[in-house]
Amino acid sequence: MQRNGLHRLRENSMRTINLGRTRIALTATISLLLCMPARAEVREVPDDDPLREVIVTAPRMQSPLQTVLNAKAPRQPLPAHDGADYLKTVAGFSVVRKGGTDGDPVFRGMAASRINLLLDGEQILGGCGQRMDPPTAYVFPESYDRIVIIKGPQTVRHGPGNSAATVLFERDAPRFDERATRWHAGVLAADAERSDLVADFAAGNDTVQARLSGTRAEAGDYADGAGRSVHAEYMRWSANAELGWTPDADTRIALTAARSDGEAAYADRAMDGTEFARDNVGLRLEREHPGAAVHRFEAQVFYNYIDHVMDNYSLRTFTPSVMMPNRAASNPDRRTIGGRVTLEVGLRESRRATVGVDAQENVHRIRSTANQTLVPYGTLARIEDGRFRNAGLFGELVWPLGGSQRIVGGARFDRWEARDLRARITLGMTEVANPTAGEVRTSWLPGGFGRWERELATRPATIYAGIGHVARFPDYWELLPAGRESTGSVSAFHTQPEKTTQLDAGLIYRAARLELSLATFYSRIDDYILVESKFPKGMRRVSVTRNVDATTIGAEVDGAFVLGRGWKLTGSIAYTRGENETDDAPLARIAPLEARLGINYQHGAWTFGALARAVSDQERFALDQGDVVGQDLGRTDGFATMALNVSWRSRRGLSITAGADNLFDRLHAEHLSRGGAMLAGYTQTTRVNEAGRTLWLRIAAGSD
């Protein structure tokens, strides 16, 4: 089987070292331990230490509709080395399985650009028209410090389109009062020849600071619960750098840069990803108290470039087919440039407001070959097929009402522009002229929210209720590659913006032994963008995009209860129900009822834990309907899995964690999985099955 250059380099290095991937991880672990101080004193780990136990259910909401995760804490089930799998431990989130990595996150049945995702305040967009590389594919979670999730359209500060949720991957700026260093390192080894390495180092003084971080992760094909191999191998690496200058205590200027690349095999399609190159540069200015009424000023600009390659021969045995009789390759890329400016203004008393502007432009290009042997894709010119621009003005306000009550609200207005630059459109094995070639669409889209919050005087609890509205312009995947419109046009470029109005209500309860959060919602979605597969007689599958009206309703509950003497019980439950009001049918791509129950026991530096996860069957589905992430494949059976873990942490910050996921080797697949593809040497399945029993070991250390 042929391999691309990146894969051959990996194979050659393995032969030179003559070690398997798991042994390499363990060798790195030994090296890490040798660098540790000889004395490893055991300590009583504080109850609020975020690394004292394995996270099996996400932390409860710290404030209304907001959850904060420690990105460096160990989690179970063991997430892949990408952003989507890391989010799946949060109640309400699911992942569309494609292989070993690069799944698409789904929250409350909503996916793709309905989830607004930012990396250190920067927007990143993938290149693949079939979402082989969603934005979370370029996220390496442990290189970040914090993940913030804001549920629903309940913020306007972080860009447009957050009809389902906003997810922020954030790094803390290194700040030092005197010369100092700070570091974190981790290594993981697991079944399926998996190994993860991460290192993060910061140094500086009160004037100049620097931070460097790097990650490398790889794994082979995994086996499902029936022992069948799943085409899922991957290798990914990333490097990040930040240089900061603080001329005074209130000012900081930071220059950031990032590079990453990798490859990934997919069990759900006819091609694999052989390149995921990303280049990033950013510049940020922060100023505290620049004026009497202005508490904070922040300006940021960034540049992101994605260069993605997919083919049908590098990571699999090439097998000719009717659709792909020859070795084929495709090379899309995307350049995104953007920025934002915000002011935090203090009003009278404790009232404050944040106002700002943000803007971004992204350009998508592609070059492809149906015969890599005769016409290599690298010899072809890139053709621009789409250009998108957005500029927004926003303001958000916190207004105390007295008596532990407050109003939080905001509004934003966005101007969207999209250009269809495709001269021709491919339908199956034929090309036709694009009827919307050269057209430009512009829209002014409003959004906003209002939320009432109250802290109860007689109970350690906060209750809240809010309403939010978002008008979301169709994204690249919905306008250009999604297929023809239901009106009969072969182009979906005239798909209407999606309008979401959502009611949110819930409570947060915090007491000495019990923590509980409840979030309920009801959403009305006008002009929901539905993508469905049609099978006209005598023709191959055709994708049709149309607007429908829909509603969703549901809730998430998270809780933790301290039983005493080191025992703690945690749990969560999430449910969403969706209706396609136009078709009087279930709304597609809705995950079934899911519950998690975890129990932990801590004794000194030792923690023992168990997690039971139960997923209901899903009888409600809409066959061949869905979104740009995938379509419903039919009903699914429920399943339950069990996982165990044990961890130990020393006074010096060394932690060792071991675990077993899917302990009973249960054969199962998620309802939102993609369909299994026919691959030479692999058994085709209805869905991409999840991994069977997985044993893993993680070692991490860092400065206090």
How far is it, in rounded angstroms, from Cα 74 to Cα 158? 27
Q: Are 419 and 485 in contact (CB under 8 A)?
A: no
Mean pLDDT throughout 341-370?
92
Tens of pLDDT along 429-458?
678 899 999 999 999 999 999 999 999 989
pLDDT of residue 61: 79
What are the CA-CA distances from residue 108 to residues 473, 517, 550 (Å)?
20, 17, 13
Q: What percent of the chain has pLDDT over 70?
A: 90
Mean pLDDT (the chain, rounded) = 90
Residue 321 confidence (pLDDT): 87
Q: Residue 52 — pLDDT band, cuts 50, 70, 90?
A: low
Cis, bond preceding 160 (omega within 30 deg of 0): no
Please report the pLDDT score of residue 37 as a whole number.
Answer: 36
Residues 161-183 have a mean pLDDT of: 93
Is it the case that residue 190 has pLDDT exceeding 70?
Answer: yes
Q: How many Å apart are CA 97 and CA 92, to the nearest integer?
A: 16
Region 617-632: what's the mean pLDDT?
95
* 179's tokens: 């010369």
Return the pLDDT at 533: 84
Whether the pLDDT of residue 16 is over 50: the answer is: no
Classify 194 as helix, strand or coil.
strand
Write the pLDDT tens digit of every residue in 277-313: 999 999 999 999 888 788 999 999 999 999 999 999 9
| Domains of the chain, earliest start first | 5-702 (2.40.170.20)
State pLDDT tens for residues 461-519: 999 999 999 999 999 999 998 777 777 788 999 999 999 999 999 999 999 999 999 99
Q: pLDDT value at position 507?
A: 96
Instruction: Give percent of the chain above pLDDT 90.
Output: 79
- On the question of pLDDT at 24 being above 90, the answer is no
28: pLDDT confidence band, cut at 50, 70 and 90?
Answer: very low
The answer, yes or no, to whether residue 8 has pLDDT greater than 50, is: no
Among 524, 518, 517, which Cα is nearest to 503's? 524
Per-residue confidence (pLDDT) for residue 529, from 0 to 100: 96
pLDDT computed for residue 704 by the predictor: 62
Does the structure show a pLDDT above 80 at 610?
yes
Question: What is the identity of the amino acid at 544?
Answer: V
pLDDT at 348: 73
Looking at the DSSP bridge assignments, the partners of residue 393 are: 357, 413
Q: Convert the pLDDT of each residue in 638-659 to its tens digit.
A: 999 999 999 999 988 899 999 9
- Is the C-alpha dihedral spanning 420, 424, 430, 435 positive or negative? positive
CA distances from 347 to 236, 353, 448 (A): 47, 7, 21
In the block, tokens 């927007």 appear at 123
Q: Of 77, 30, 89, nearest to 654 (Cα)? A: 30
Task: State the Cα–Cα distance between residues 497 and 234, nearest whole angstrom.
Answer: 36
Which pLDDT score is estimated for 33? Answer: 34
The answer to whether 674 and 94 have CB atoms below 8 angstroms apart is: no
Q: What is the pLDDT of residue 59?
A: 61
Q: pTM higher than 0.85 for the full model?
A: yes
Joined tokens for residue 49: 């230490």
Distance CA 400, CA 467 (A): 18
Rounded CA gap, 363 and 410, in Å? 30
For residue 701, what pLDDT band results from cuts at 50, 70 and 90? very high
